[in-house]
Amino acid sequence: MEAKDTQAKASNAADRGNKSDRVDNIDRVNRVSKVLNVSNDNHAQHPKHGWEIKKLGEVCTFQRGLTYSKDDEVEYSNNCVLRSNNIDLDSMSIVLDELKYINEDFVVSEDKKVKPDTILICMSNGSKQHIGKVAFIDKEYGYAFGGFMGLIKPNAEVSPKFIYYSCISSSYKHFLAGIGNGANITNLKFSDLQQYTLPIPPMEEQERIVRELDCLSGVIEKKREQLKQLDALAQSIFYDMFGDPISNEKGWEVDKLGNLGEIIAGSTPSTTDDSNWGGNINWVTPAELNEQLYYGETIRKITEKAAKSLTLMPIGTVLLSSRAPIGKLAITTTPMCCNQGFKNIICSNRINNVFLYHYLKLTIDDIKALGRGATFKEVSKKNISDYKIYIPPVSLQEEFAEKIEAIEKQKELLKRSIKEIETLFDARMDYYFGDT
C-alpha cells in the first residue's frame, strides 16, 4: 500500500464522518424512536401543563459528607471515602478509581455513607464545571462520602431515579449556572440547591419515564462498551502481529524516529494580528485532540500570511503532542499547521502511519517519561528524533493498517448509532424536564 493510498483512506474516513454529522437531528429522533419502540409523540398532558411543580427541597433531604484530616488518610483500609473524582463528568456515574482511604479507627456514622436509591453530588470543587455533578447510587457500597460532597435523599413521593434524571437535565444545568461562586473554591450550598424546581408527575408516570430513559441510556452504554472492545481488539491484533513494542521479542529491526520520517514542530501566529486568523488553513492544538485515529477540521484556522512562517504538514502526518499534555495522537486527514505543543512525524516509505500511531499509543508512557521542565513537562524534538522503535516489514505494517481500517469502519457505525440515540435521549430529557 503506497502512502497516498493510506492518505486516501484517511480522507475517506473523514468524509464519512462529516456526512454522518450532517444527518438531520429530527430524522435521528424519529428513526431511533421507531427502532427502540420509544414514543416520540407528546402525551396528552405536557409535563408543565398538569404536573405539579415543586422545589427539590420539598421532595428531598440533604446530607453533607464526612470531614477528616490529612493525618487520617492511609494507603488502604476498610474505610473508603468517595470524592469528586469518583463521579465521571461525562457519564454522570460512579467510577471507583483513585479511591481515598482513612484510618480504620476513624468512626464513620451511617448518615455519612452512601445508600442505595440516593444521589451523590459534588458540592465544592476548584473547577466550576464539576459543581453539582451527580451520580445515582444503585447498590450498597458501604463507602463514606467526603466533606466536599453531599447526598440527596428523595422522599417517598418521588422515584429516586426520576430525581437523578432531573439532576442531569439541561434545566438543572441552567439552574447551576447562576450559583456556586466561592472566593478560593467553587461551592454549592444546600440552601441554594433546594430551590431548584422540577416537574413531579404521578408516581406511575415517574416510573414509566425512568424506564424509558433507562432503556435509552442502557443502549448508549452498551454501544460505548462495544467501542472499547473494538479498541481492545486493535491492540490485541498489534501484539499478535508484532509482539510487545517494549521487549521486541520477535527481533525486528530497530531505528530512530528521526530516520523514519521528518519531525515537525510548530508555533502560534501573533494573536494580536487579526490578519493571521480566520483563513482556511487548519491549525491544530493539543487541546482539541481526543481518542480519535483521524483528525481533519481544526477549531481555529489561519491565513496564508500566517502559514508562511509554519510548516504545512501533508495528509497522513502523525500528530504527537509534546506538551500540555504529552502524548495525544492522531493522523491528519487534511493538510494542517500546528502550534508549539507538537513534535509530529511525516512518515517515510519505511513506516506506515497507522502502524506508527498504534506503536506510539502503546509506548506513550515511555515518551511521557522523556518530558523535562519545571513549569510543565515537554519532550524535545531531539528526544523524539532519537526515540527508537522497531520496524517490521512494510508489507506486514500495511496488512495491520488494513485490519485497523476495517475496525475503524465498525467504530464509525457505532459512533453514528450512539449519536442518534443520544439525540433521542436529549430530546426526551428536554421534553420531560426542560422549560416550556
Pair 190, 150: CB distance under 8 Å: yes
Residue 111 C-alpha from the chain's centroid: 33
pTM score, two decimals? 0.78
Complete domains list, the chain, with CATH: 24-51+203-237+396-436 (no CATH), 52-200 (3.90.220.20), 253-391 (3.90.220.20)
Residue 1 CB-half CA count within 13 A: 24
d(CA 218, CA 197): 27
The pLDDT value given to residue 22:
41
Residue 170 C-alpha from the chain's centroid: 19
d(CA 327, CA 386): 16
d(CA 433, CA 309): 51
Closest CA to 221 of 141, 287, 136, 289: 136
Q: What is the DSSP letter of 257?
A: G
Query: What φ, ψ does residue 45 adopt, rounded to 5°?
Result: -120, 130
Dmax over CA atoms of the chain, in Å, equals 73
Pair 400, 355: CB distance under 8 Å: yes
Pair 125, 185: CB distance under 8 Å: yes
**All cell numbers assigned to 114:** 452512601
- Contacts with 37 (C-beta within 8 Å, 6 or more apart), sequence order: none
Pair 68, 37: CB distance under 8 Å: no
d(CA 252, CA 255): 10
d(CA 128, CA 143): 25
User: Cα dihedral angle (319, 406, 8, 396), rounded to 10 degrees?
Assistant: 80
Q: What is the DSSP letter of 314?
A: P
Tell me the pLDDT of the chain (436 aa) as tens digits: 444 444 444 444 444 444 444 444 445 545 555 555 555 544 444 555 689 999 999 999 999 999 999 999 999 999 999 999 999 998 899 999 889 999 999 999 999 999 999 999 999 998 888 999 999 999 999 999 999 999 999 999 999 999 999 999 999 999 998 884 544 457 899 999 999 999 999 999 999 999 999 999 999 999 999 999 999 999 999 999 999 999 999 999 999 999 999 999 999 999 999 999 999 999 999 999 998 999 999 999 999 999 999 999 999 999 999 998 999 999 999 999 999 999 999 999 999 999 999 999 999 999 999 999 888 899 999 999 999 999 999 999 999 999 999 999 999 999 999 999 999 999 999 999 986 4
What is the full DSSP assignment across 15-76?
HHHHHHHTS-HHHHHHHHHHHHT---S--SS-TTTTSEEEEHHHHEEEEE-B---GGGEESS
Residue 98 CB-half CA count within 13 A: 6
